Amino acid sequence: MAVKTLQDLFIHTLGDIYYAENQILKALPKMAAEATSQELKQAFNTHLEETRGQVQRLEQVFKLCNAPVKGERCDAIEGIIKEADGLLKEIEDPEVKDAGMLAAAQAVEHYEISRYGALIAWAEQLEMDEVIDLLEETLDEEKNADRLLTEIAEGEVNEEAA
């Protein structure tokens, strides 16, 4: 799509994160299945549930903007997931694998946090109040997921891997 205005840029980036969330929806069950740490497995499963809600919130945002629900291929999320897959294939030790998966998951959360941050800033500029509320709910979930992953890394996973 041609991007001319801030509104176009908003919709384009909404499509980008919509595509990314759907890729994450596919990756999280595999990561949960592979996790050895029960805490990490639980964190992936909880975030899978949250991600389903995030996809629905994005669909509401498209509707509020009178835009068709449409993904825009996100090279960044594909790269992050591809890089993680490649690394994990090289790791045999299950506990070292947990540490690698956890770090990859945090790279995903940080990408999401940066995207939602930009979308919220643009929605503020465009004075789309309902949209801001929906995106902020998701941004809070992403930040909490990131914080929980840090706690699990520091509390258990990195020590087990060492």
Q: How far is the CB of 96 from Fe ion (least distance, A)?
A: 23
The count of C-alpha atoms lying within 13 angstroms of the C-alpha of 63, restricted to the half-sphere facing its C-beta, is 8
Q: How far is the CB of 20 from Fe ion (least distance, A)?
A: 6
Report the residue count for the chain.
Answer: 162
Looking at 29-37, 54-62, 116-124, 152-160, which segment touches Fe ion (CB under 5 A)?
54-62
Is 48:25 a contact under the CB 8 Å cutoff? Answer: yes
Contacts of 7 (CB under 8 A, 6+ apart): 65, 126
Residue 76 binds Fe ion, judged by CB under 5 A: yes
With respect to Fe ion, which residue has the nearer C-beta, 28 or 128?
28
Q: Which of 16, 61, 116, 128 is in the footprint of Fe ion by CB under 5 A? A: 16
Residue 11 binds Fe ion, judged by CB under 5 A: no
CA distance 118 to 9: 10
